[in-house]
Every structure is written in C-alpha cells, then in structure tokens.
C-alpha cells in the first residue's frame, strides 16, 4: 500500500511506524491560521474546524498524488467557547495554561483518508482532559522546560511527557497524540488486502529522573524484532505523583509499566494484585494492566540480576562466601532475596540511612547483617560478591565514594547503574583484579518478556 501522511509531525510518523505501517511524510503547505479564523468567523464548531483542517491537508496532497492513499490529521482544543491552537509564543502558552488550570477541556482529533482526490473515510475523536490546578510557579517552570515541545501541541501541553498535569483523562493515548491509529488500521484492513495492520499498544517506564533510561531504545528494538505492534516510552513523574499519574495513563490506554527509581515500593502499594515474589520482596518493577484496568505488580529484578551474574561471570559461586550489598531501596530488596535464594550464606547490608537498612533486614531474612555506611570498606576483604544497588555513580547523580583497595581480588563486583555502561565503581574494582559485571542486561531481559506477553495478550 502506498500511503502518504500529510504532516511532518514526528509523533504521527512514530505512531504509524509502531503499527508497522510504512508512510511517506509530506508537508501539505496549507494556511491553517487563516482557515481557522474563517471557520471561527462562520461559527463553525470545534469538531468541524478540526475535520476541515484535516481534510484540507489530505486533499492538497492527494491532488498531487492521486494514486496514493493520503492521511490528513488535525487537532484542536476547545474550552469555554474558544478554540486553542498551537501557542505562537511562550506568553501564549502561559495564558493557555492559566485558563486551562483546574478545568476540563476537550481535545478533538480529526483524521481523513483521501484516495483518487476523493475523501474515502473520516474519523473524529473527542477526548476530555481534566487538568490539575497549577500554581504560578508551576506554570512558569512548565513554560521554561517544555516550550521546545509544547509549541507544537494544541493548547500547549505535551501529554506524553507530562501526564501528571492531569487528574483524569477520558480518551485514548493515540487520539491525544493526534492520530487515531485504531480506527485507521481497522479501515485499512477492510479495504487493503495485501496485509493486516494492528493498532499498537503502549507501555512505559516510570521514574524520576528518567532521561538517562535506555529502556525506550531497548524495548523499541525488541518490539520491532518480535514484530509486535507497540510503543514504549519513558515518563518522568515528579515526587508524590506516581499513583494519580498511573491512573491517568491507564485511562488513556497504557497497558503496562516498568518502574525504576525511586518508585518500586510505591508501585507495589498501588497495585490491586501482587505476585508472591513481589510481595516477598516488598517492591515492584513491573505493572501489568488487565482489561478491567486492574493492576498486577511483579518484581523481575532478582531474576534478571542472578541470570546476568551467572551469564557474565562464569566463575561466580554464590556459596563461596558472604556478599556486601550497598543500598536498601526497592531494587536492593529484590537483590537481597535473590542472593539468599541462590545460596549466598550471609549478606552485609549497608545504607546511608541505617534504620532503613535495619527495617529491610528485619523484614527479609536473619542472614542479613546491617553495617554502618562508614564501615563498608572494612568488610571488602571478607566477601566474594559486592553489589551496588544505589543510584550513586549514575550520570547526573553524586559519585559512589568507596575505597576498594582492601577488596578480595577474587570477588565478583556488579553495579545496577548502567549509565555509564561501566561506572567508576566497576573500573576501580577491575583495577584490583575483580571480576566485574555491568547492570544493563539485568535491567531489561525479564521485564521485557513480561511486558511482551502482556502486549500479546491484549485485544
């Protein structure tokens, strides 16, 4: 099928790519602003404005490419009798957010397909978006940080990066992004016989910060390799907003999440169901959403960690001696449980907050002995496994300050941080003769498989 997208939108191109639809992007070169002004003067409804703009784009490109299928798209935001387009300036964006703050507006997406210069199909979706109240400071921060993306979005918000701005969403992720891929694939499958297209499913990784995450690139590769119609994105969620943002994303059709620092324990708490291993660990790194919107929490960190350790360090023997684990967060809990299950006879646990480590040890196993953070170097000669589960040493985070000069040279040292791929901690350990294992593979293999199966089960 020869399909042309009458738009230069990278987001729309990405959505088509996720559905395994090959399309050439062509700019329609229409005067959107004047067309919109004329339609408003004629008292056209917001729905008709979006539809007319989408049709103008499709028709303009179809006239030059009559044998091709041409997809035209447009989107307008309607609120209190006014139509909001893309903000022209940062001040436009500021005023838009002031008006939308704490209120519910409609985001209207129109898609029109042309063939042989004639309209063949059209679809209009109406999404209801309820925004949290925003303070003046929050608005200024948003304008400053999000302007590069917001200037290309109707109303000036970039939902895929800032879903936490909303208290409720009644709509579909792809409609909100500007292309109704589900109805499009359904129509094309009825009228194009060469192949069958599937509407992509959405999954995401949640954390704060999240810019360092390689998950979208890794999962995007695996989705393509396994020929799954899906998209995987990274979403940065500010502190305290995990639960409400997950509910907003579920409402928009996101059906699975990986969870990273600092939300693994919070993720377990918000789930409707917990797997036995997630419950035993007390933290979750995978959330799977069923057809009723219920959340099942799982934890695959331990599985990935042990598998990676065995694969990358052929001489690692869990029974050979004690382990030293740095950090007592959600990831640490999974590592501690997996080391005990693998047969490590004793674990020394050290955390900057001593009481947190004591609480974790008390909950998990008498084989865990808590030691002061300042004393961690004293145990290096006694252990055969050393694991950093903290974010220290990650790009953008403080360094992990530890002197490994007294370390057992036969120890296996691993770091869950994977940006950079080899941390200064691992470089130092290697210089003392230790076997080192990076954290990249353990962070992705099993979580991907769980989300893959979830995506395949979805209708």
Q: What is the pLDDT of residues 99-138, one digit of tens each?
A: 999 999 999 999 999 999 999 999 999 999 999 999 999 9
Average pLDDT taken over every residue of the chain: 92
- Rg (the chain; Cα; Å): 26
For residue 222, pLDDT over 90 is answered with no
Domain 302-442 CATH assignment equals 3.40.630.30: no
In the chain, what are the domain boundaries?
Answer: 3-199, 202-300+444-457, 302-442
Tokens 């004690």 sit at which residue?
A: 322
Report whether the peptide linkage leading into residue 420 is cis, meaning its omega lies within 30 degrees of zero.
yes
Question: Could you read off the pLDDT of 375-405 as tens digits, one per residue?
Answer: 999 999 999 999 999 999 998 899 999 999 9
For residue 449, pLDDT over 90 is answered with no
CATH of domain 202-300+444-457: 3.40.50.10860
pLDDT tier at 364, thresholds 50, 70, 90 = very high
Q: Computed from CA positions of residues 75, 182, 247, 237, in that sequence, does the dihedral angle turn out positive or negative? A: negative
Distance CA 169, CA 166 (A): 7
At 457 the pLDDT is 47
Q: Computed from CA positions of residues 198, 49, 44, 61, in that sequence, does the dihedral angle turn out positive or negative? A: negative
Distance CA 295, CA 289 (A): 5
Distance CA 158, CA 160 (A): 6
Q: Is 343 in contact with 404 (CB distance < 8 Å)?
A: no
At 458 the pLDDT is 45
Give the residue, 261 or 61, on which the prediction is more confident: 61
Q: Is 177 in contact with 15 (CB distance < 8 Å)?
A: yes
Angle separating helix axes 215-225 and 445-457, nearest 10 degrees: 50
Mapped onto helix, strand or coil, the DSSP state of residue 255 is strand
Please state the rounded mean pLDDT for residues 253-279: 94
Catalytic one of 264, 376, 446, 452: 264
Q: How many CB atoms lie within 10 A of CB 310?
A: 13
At 443 the pLDDT is 52
- pTM (global) more than 0.85: no
Q: Computed from CA positions of residues 308, 309, 310, 311, in that sequence, does the dihedral angle turn out positive or negative? A: positive
Q: Which CATH architecture has domain 3-199?
A: Alpha-Beta Complex (3.90)
How is residue 379 annotated by DSSP? G
For residue 459, pLDDT over 70 is answered with no
Distance CA 459, CA 451 (A): 14
Q: Is 25 in contact with 7 (CB distance < 8 Å)?
A: yes
Distance CA 347, CA 367 (A): 6
At 445 the pLDDT is 46
Listed range (59-68, 264-273, 448-457) with the worst mean pLDDT:
448-457
CA 426, distance to chain mean position in Å, is: 28
At 196 the pLDDT is 85
Question: Could you read off the pLDDT of 314-362 as tens digits, one per residue?
Answer: 889 999 999 999 999 988 999 999 999 999 999 999 999 999 999 999 9
Q: Is 401 in contact with 380 (CB distance < 8 Å)?
A: no
Please state the rounded mean pLDDT for residues 12-27: 95
At 58 the pLDDT is 98
Highest mean pLDDT out of 27-36, 184-193, 279-288, 374-383: 374-383
At 284 the pLDDT is 94
Please state the rounded mean pLDDT for residues 86-105: 95
At 224 the pLDDT is 87
pLDDT tier at 313, thresholds 50, 70, 90 = confident
Query: Under 8 Å CB-to-CB from 73, ≥6 apart: which residues?
Result: 5, 6, 7, 9, 12, 54, 57, 109, 110, 111, 112, 178, 179
Distance CA 251, CA 167 (A): 10
Is 82 known to be catalytic? no
Q: How many CB atoms lie within 10 A of CB 289?
A: 21
Distance CA 375, CA 406 (A): 13
Say if 3-199 and 302-442 have the same CATH topology: no
Q: Is 105 in contact with 165 (CB distance < 8 Å)?
A: no
């Amino acid at each position: 099928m020869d399909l042309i997208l009458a738009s230069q939108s990278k987001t729309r191109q990405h959505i088509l790519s996720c559905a395994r639809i090959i399309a050439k992007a062509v700019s329609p070169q229409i005067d959107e602003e004047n067309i919109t002004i004329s339609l408003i003067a004629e008292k056209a409804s917001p729905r008709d404005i979006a539809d007319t703009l989408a049709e103008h784009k499709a028709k303009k490109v179809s006239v030059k490419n009559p044998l091709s299928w041409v997809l035209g798209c447009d989107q307008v935001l309607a609120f209190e009798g006014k139509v909001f387009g893309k903000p022209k300036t940062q001040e436009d964006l500021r005023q838009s957010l002031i008006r939308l703050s704490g209120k519910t507006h409609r985001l209207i997406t129109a898609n029109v397909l042309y063939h042989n210069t004639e309209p063949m199909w059209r679809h209009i979706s109406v999404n209801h978006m309820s925004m949290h109240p925003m303070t003046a400071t929050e608005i200024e921060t948003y304008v400053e940080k999000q302007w590069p993306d917001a200037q290309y979005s109707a109303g000036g918000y970039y939902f895929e990066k800032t879903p936490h701005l909303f208290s409720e969403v009644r709509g579909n992720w792809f409609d909100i992004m500007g292309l109704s891929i589900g109805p499009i694939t359904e129509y094309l499958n009825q009228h194009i016989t060469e192949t069958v297209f599937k509407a992509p499913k959405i999954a995401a990784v949640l954390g704060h910060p999240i810019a360092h995450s390689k998950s979208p690139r890794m999962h995007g590769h695996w989705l393509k390799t396994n020929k799954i119609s899906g998209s995987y994105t990274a979403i940065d969620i500010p502190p305290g907003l995990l639960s409400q943002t997950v509910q907003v994303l579920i409402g928009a059709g996101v059906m699975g999440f990986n969870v990273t620092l600092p939300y693994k324990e919070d993720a377990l708490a918000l789930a409707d169901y917990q797997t036995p291993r997630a419950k035993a660990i007390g933290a979750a790194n995978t959330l799977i959403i069923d057809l009723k919107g219920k959340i099942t929490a799982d934890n695959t960190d331990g599985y990935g960690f042990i598998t990676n350790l065995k694969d990358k360090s052929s001489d690692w023997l869990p029974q050979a001696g004690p382990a030293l684990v740095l950090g007592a967060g959600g990831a640490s809990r999974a590592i501690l449980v997996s080391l005990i299950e693998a047969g490590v006879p004793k674990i020394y646990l050290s955390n900057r907050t001593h009481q947190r480590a004591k609480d974790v040890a008390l909950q998990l196993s008498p084989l865990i002995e808590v030691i002061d953070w300042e004393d961690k170097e004293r145990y290096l000669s006694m252990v055969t496994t050393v694991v950093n589960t903290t974010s220290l040493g990650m790009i953008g985070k403080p360094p992990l300050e530890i002197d490994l000069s007294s370390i057992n040279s036969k120890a296996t040292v691993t770091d869950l941080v994977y940006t950079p791929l080899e941390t200064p901690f691992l470089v130092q350990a290697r210089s003392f003769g230790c076997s080192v294992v990076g954290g990249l593979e353990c962070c992705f293999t099993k979580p991907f498989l769980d989300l893959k199966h979830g995506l395949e089960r979805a209708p």
